[in-house]
Structure 1
Amino acid sequence: MTQHLDSKRLQRPAPGTVMAAVLGLVAALSLGVIGQAKAVAAEKAPAERWSDAAHGFASLAGGTTGGAGGKVVTVTDQASLAAYAAAEEPYVIRVSGAIAIEPFGSDIVVGSNKTIIGVGATGEIVHGELHLNPGTHNVIIRNLTIRDSYVEGDWDGKTTDFDAIQMDTADHVWIDHNRFEHMGDGLLDIRKDSQYITVSYNQFRSHNKAFGIGWTTNVLTQITIDHNWFTGTKQRNPSADNCAYAHLYNNYLSAQVADGDPVWTYGNWSRGRTKMVIESSYYDGVQHPYQADATAELVQRGSILRNTTGRTDAWGTAFDPRSFYAYRLDPAAAVPSLVSKFSGPQQRIGVTLHVPSAYPTVQAAVDAVPDQNALPVTIAVAPGTYRAKVYIPATKPKILLQGTGQDRSDTVIVYDTPAEYGGSTGSATVRIAANDVTARHLTFSNDFDEGAVELKGEQALAMKTTGDRIVFEDTAFLGNQDTLMTDSPKLDVISRVYIRDSYIEGDVDFIYGRATTVIERSVIRALSRGSDSNNGYITAASTWTGNPYGFLITRSKVVSDAPDRTFHLGRPWHPGGEPAAVAQVLIRDTALPAAVKSSPWTDMSGFSWKDARFAEYRNAGPGATPSADRPQLDAADARTYTVANYLRGTDGWAPHASH
């Protein structure tokens, strides 16, 4: 904005104080319009059972982070997959769709510091193997289906070596949420002293020799195997040869191949000098559920055996897994349901970029997202205060920016640039130019102190958007003048923004711009600037005259510490005197405080508010007293000016429909 008021408001309370007060206010409201706590709590406690951090032995000795910190790429063909997988630098490689490997049974060599992950449930590698050569380290393979390199008639896998994944003398590898089936030899071969391995939530299906570990006389391998489903397999579920430590828990073995073989049809086998611990697993219709060589050790506790026959060996003391790492055991009785539901590729597992553990700053994570990104990427921001600007360019759509704290105030992105040092756009702490960006559980702040220095312009944006289909959920925007600007690339281009269950504070024109913007079930705080007559303006819309929908504030609550009748609901902003920017603002079904003026709309820069499209409908509270200068929407028009109609556009966008 180019306008500002000369008089200063009183100093703003500390953000923590304001947030605490607002949260208390929201909890106390009886309007039923800002009941965000239940929805937010539900979002923070999803039913899914996965983490983006390795657990078990793969989490030890420096941990397993894969390609974290490297660029994110999406591959749909063999050549791209092979090139990125073998590269020297770290990569997060997203596999989208099925990639058929040629020649049949060939290897894709995976180098160190790589994450290979299927996007949703679509990522498949067909007719080929992922192979980790000796010395490879720090690899994550997740959410893939690897299938169908089986050679007809070679049930015993004696003529081919077409595994799904094979590794020799590798370390720090996490194999998670994959489906392996119908391959030419083993499904998973972990060989020759590979160390610090975790194999979790995978499905081993329709195969003879499922999962082997060892092929060495040394006793070095440490491996965690949990929540895997072995179904329609015969043997090696797994076979663990000369493992220093093999911890198996909450695995589900069912529908074992029954071909009458008295020896080589079995569940788990502790071989050589392996020390194996089995906990709370479930064996259904399995021959030889668990067995151990005389030289090995096997401790079993808490498992359930149903319709089983044969060996259930247990001797020695093995080891205590909790002396290495913490873990949670599910009851054995729950394992069939849990593992059948949550093992294998999951639709909502994609790529999550973690700040600051994998990427030191939010901007670094944004920069890692592929240009022209066609598939969703989550940037998970850990609790903390991040004093830096963030820019999401138009070339990086489909980003979810999500704070991971218990409260939105736990994760704050803040800077302190005023407009005088870079223009209003340059002052923004966060700028979103991309389409299809969502932000959740975060606070955006511009903490420039307008009372500390005398400037020609005091605009200091916390957030500016120009992209389309932008969603803010459970977010806070902290600032004074020009806190939140929702805009579009140019006047006659319509961008849409949906803000729900959020908090916005400011004094002068602190919600402004030309984007079609819906603010629902939120708290808007109009800050006092210490004036007895004019403390500011909540809105300053610059809606294109060809757009019937500008700002809609609905089912919300405006609060203020300003004196009675000193705050405007808004004024019409015509940037650069543009006559085709004709503000459209509707405030409906919202509680208004006594601070709102009885004539709440006012002129701006020579443009009359009466020529703008300002209206109210069914507001309540001491600031909603009717007067001649308060246009009211009639009931018929109110049925048109709805959240759905503001947001629908030509593509039927309906982000509000999910709540």
Structure 2
Amino acid sequence: MTHLHSKRLSRPGHGKVVAAVIGLAAALSLGAAGEAMAAPAQAPASAPVDRWSDRAHGFASLAGGTTGGAGGKVVTVTDQASLAKYAAAEEPYVIRVSGSIAVEPFGSEIVVASNKTVIGVGDTGEIVHGELHLNPGTHNVIIRNLTIRDSAVEGNWDCKDTDFDGIQMDTAHHVWVDHNRFSNICDGQLDVRKDSEYVTVSYNRFENNNKTFGLGWTNEVKTQITIDHNLFAHTKQRNPSVDNAAYAHLYNNHLTAQVDPGDPVWTYGNWSRGRTKMVIENSYYRDVQHPYQADATAELVERGSILRNTTGRHDEWGAAFDPRDFYDYRLDPAAAVPALVKRFSGPQKRIGDSVTLHVPADYPTVQAAVDAVPDGNTVPVTIAVAPGTYRAKVLIPATKPNIVLRGTGQDRSDTVIVYDTPAEYGGSTGSATVRIAANDVTARNLTFSNDFDEAAVELKGEQALAMKTTGDRIVFEDTAFLGNQDTLMTDSPKLTTVSRVYIRDSYIEGDVDFIYGRATTVIERSVIRALSRGSATNNGYITAASTWKENPYGFLITRSRILSDAPAGSFHLGRPWHPGGEPDAIAQVLIRDTKLPAAIKATPWTDMSGFSWRDARFTEYGNYGPGAAVTADRPQLGDAEAPSYTVARYLNGSDGWAPYDRH
């Protein structure tokens, strides 16, 4: 195995730490009156904790890290057979547990093989009277957001004659157990056994149990484990018991309300046993007997914890180790721990409502991540794309709805998906760098580009799409669309099908018909740049709508800015597109409350392919800037009509879809 990596960070002064504790305690309406408190622990100079991160921290993040099923397919299971099948498979999987799965026979094991993520959907995924079991050699496993409960046999509190654990691992490595709830398990709720290494246990709720959480059962001293932000309530022993671990780092845990505190020996909190080196920081103990204790052969360092109504052993001896020699972390003030753990521990809807696939860390391409999303997906899957330029085409097919495509850079220009196919090589659809055929897709903080150079090659067709959509309920936020002719096509599967697209806080550029199609499309708070083609009289057309005649809502450009470096009076606002001469495609375009440049023609609407612009539904309302005017050739929406042509009216539809800001 790879050795632990080492790094040391500087720490701020004692005064700043005390101020931070007081400030956060006040913010959470917490106090320390009447409580015993050890000397405050030093806080690191590190970024705020992301309590929702899908990336392991602590010891599980070292020596290659713990990524679970990343890189594999995402599947959703609702029954024991499917869970057992995917959990034991050789391939990596992200396994989403939907609803409650009762394991039969009672107390049976579900074997979890290497390279798996098992995660509850929403906050209701459950394993009932069954165990998730990691055999020797199993590695790279994430178990998150589940309730694991009720394998205790009525009247058999000690469970010496059974071994029904919640999660058990033997000689495993790189395991992250996070945001789960364990309750009423016959033996150990969580057993980390026999030299398991690189384990992190975080934000779990351990409740209603006798033998709660144990580590060891070995004469070796190998285990490295981080245990943080967990709740131990109505439990008796092993909270945890740590036997012969090389390094056990416990911080920001909350122990309270023990079962059977009258037992003088076997009711206790944290126990450093054998030759364990344990560090406890900024935890909160309330109504706990023997809150922390250590064998004479073990070492235990405690700092910064709050003790309230505690009795029995409070052992501290030896130097143990410095966790910052291995990884960075941020301590929450001990006074804030009860409120933080109450709020954030256990299954969380926010975690279970979405799965995140990382490109290129886990999937080499955006398309590979899209392909991992299950057909018929019902819960959002986020594809997080790291900064970089990805020269490839991407298709989100109609079978894969509920995808969020998100760039992770500071700016949308940091993450670019680009290709250079013109329409002559595959038609306008085939030229699109990205195609979204699925419903309920959102893209954020990205740039989509088709960088085909229309001036460099003589072709019959110069269309080159950066983006084409045909799905319904598509959202683009803080995105850029770069191209020349036909940059952005928002369409629908057929003329009489209405699809809706909402574009906000974005940038679109092009020259000829560069915003076109038949989808109901709202562009709000965005910048549209009309590029000059070098003509003094006609540099292009911003829109080319082909709205179905029965659809009152085509394109709405509102509260935006149109920019252009083209000569004055050389750009059209749009023209009516009748694909294939379709007479029922009657363009509807409204540009309102938008700044227009001098490049806009005095007569900004024009005919197309023999169809008159006057037969289309072209209007303006409340525009301003050097290119704005009210003339006979510029139809205006009346004040009485304006309330019927808003963002809400365009997008709500029969399902009340409202992706826009309501205020």
Note whether the superposition's TM-score is higher than 0.5: yes
Cross-structure match for 2:504: 500
Cross-structure match for 1:17: none
Cross-structure match for 1:438: 442
Secondary structure of residue in 2 paired with 1:340: helix
CA deviations over 1:310-343 (Å, ceiling 9, x no partner): 2111111111111111212222222222221111
Distance, in Å, in 2 between the alignment partners of 1:252 and 1:443 is 45
Cross-structure match for 2:471: 467
Distance, in Å, in 2 between the alignment partners of 1:276 and 1:259 is 23
- Consecutive unaligned residues in structure 1, runs of 5 or more: 1-44
Cross-structure match for 1:546: 550
- 1:527-538 equivalences under 5 Å are 527-538=531-542
Structure 1 residues 495, 47: CA separation in 2 closer, same or farther (over 3 Å shift)?
farther
- Of 213, 216, 220 in structure 1, the residue corresponding to residue 215 of structure 2 is 213
Structure 1 residues 259, 249: CA separation in 2 closer, same or farther (over 3 Å shift)?
closer
TM-superposed CA distance for 1:657, in Å, is: 4.3
Distance, in Å, in 1 between the alignment partners of 2:336 and 2:194 is 35
Q: What residue identity is the alignment partner of 1:201? A: Y
CA deviations over 1:247-300 (Å, ceiling 9, x no partner): 111111122224411221111100011000111111122111111000000111
Distance, in Å, in 2 between the alignment partners of 1:63 and 1:523 is 42
Secondary structure of residue in 2 paired with 1:73: strand
- Of 571, 578, 589 in structure 2, the residue corresponding to residue 585 of structure 1 is 589
TM-superposed CA distance for 1:157, in Å, is: 2.3
Q: What residue identity is the alignment partner of 2:637? A: L
Cross-structure match for 2:27: none
Q: What residue identity is the alignment partner of 2:316? A: A
Cross-structure match for 1:453: 457
CA deviations over 1:548-572 (Å, ceiling 9, x no partner): 1100111111111112111111100
TM-superposed CA distance for 1:543, in Å, is: 0.5
Secondary structure of residue in 1 paired with 2:627: helix
Secondary structure of residue in 1 paired with 2:59: helix
Distance, in Å, in 2 between the alignment partners of 1:602 and 1:117 is 56
- Of 64, 68, 82 in structure 1, the residue corresponding to residue 70 of structure 2 is 68
Secondary structure of residue in 2 paired with 1:354: strand
Distance, in Å, in 2 between the alignment partners of 1:540 and 1:560 is 18
Task: Figure out how many residues of one structure are paired with residues of the other and give that number.
Answer: 615
Cross-structure match for 1:375: 379
Distance, in Å, in 1 between the alignment partners of 2:207 and 2:265 is 20
Distance, in Å, in 1 between the alignment partners of 2:121 and 2:216 is 31
Cross-structure match for 2:3: none
Cross-structure match for 2:119: 117
- Of 596, 607, 611 in structure 1, the residue corresponding to residue 611 of structure 2 is 607
User: What TM-score results when the alignment is normalised by the length of structure 1?
Assistant: 0.92
Distance, in Å, in 2 between the alignment partners of 1:122 and 1:557 is 46
Secondary structure of residue in 2 paired with 1:375: coil
CA RMSD of superposed structures (Å): 1.4
Report the identity percentage: 83
User: What TM-score results when the alignment is normalised by the length of structure 2?
Assistant: 0.91
Distance, in Å, in 1 between the alignment partners of 2:79 and 2:535 is 65
Cross-structure match for 2:106: 104
- Of 321, 335, 343 in structure 1, the residue corresponding to residue 323 of structure 2 is 321
Structure 1 residues 96, 579: CA separation in 2 closer, same or farther (over 3 Å shift)?
same
Contact 1:407 1:441 (C-alpha < 8 Å) held by counterparts: yes
Contact 1:176 1:201 (C-alpha < 8 Å) held by counterparts: yes
Are positions 1:617 and 2:621 aligned together?
A: yes
TM-superposed CA distance for 1:48, in Å, is: 6.1
Contact 1:48 1:342 (C-alpha < 8 Å) held by counterparts: no
Contact 1:192 1:215 (C-alpha < 8 Å) held by counterparts: yes
Secondary structure of residue in 2 paired with 1:646: helix
- Consecutive unaligned residues in structure 2, runs of 5 or more: 1-46
TM-superposed CA distance for 1:46, in Å, is: 11
Contact 1:157 1:186 (C-alpha < 8 Å) held by counterparts: no
TM-superposed CA distance for 1:448, in Å, is: 1.1
TM-superposed CA distance for 1:575, in Å, is: 0.6
CA deviations over 1:122-170 (Å, ceiling 9, x no partner): 2111111101111111111111111111111112222321111011111
Cross-structure match for 2:199: 197
Distance, in Å, in 2 between the alignment partners of 1:624 and 1:286 is 74
Cross-structure match for 1:403: 407
TM-superposed CA distance for 1:529, in Å, is: 1.4
TM-superposed CA distance for 1:89, in Å, is: 1.1
Contact 1:598 1:626 (C-alpha < 8 Å) held by counterparts: no
Cross-structure match for 1:523: 527
Q: What residue identity is the alignment partner of 1:130? A: L
Q: What residue identity is the alignment partner of 1:131? A: H
Secondary structure of residue in 2 paired with 1:624: coil
Secondary structure of residue in 2 paired with 1:655: coil
Q: What residue identity is the alignment partner of 2:367? A: Q
- 1:237-636 equivalences under 5 Å are 237-349=239-351, 350-636=354-640
Contact 1:248 1:276 (C-alpha < 8 Å) held by counterparts: yes
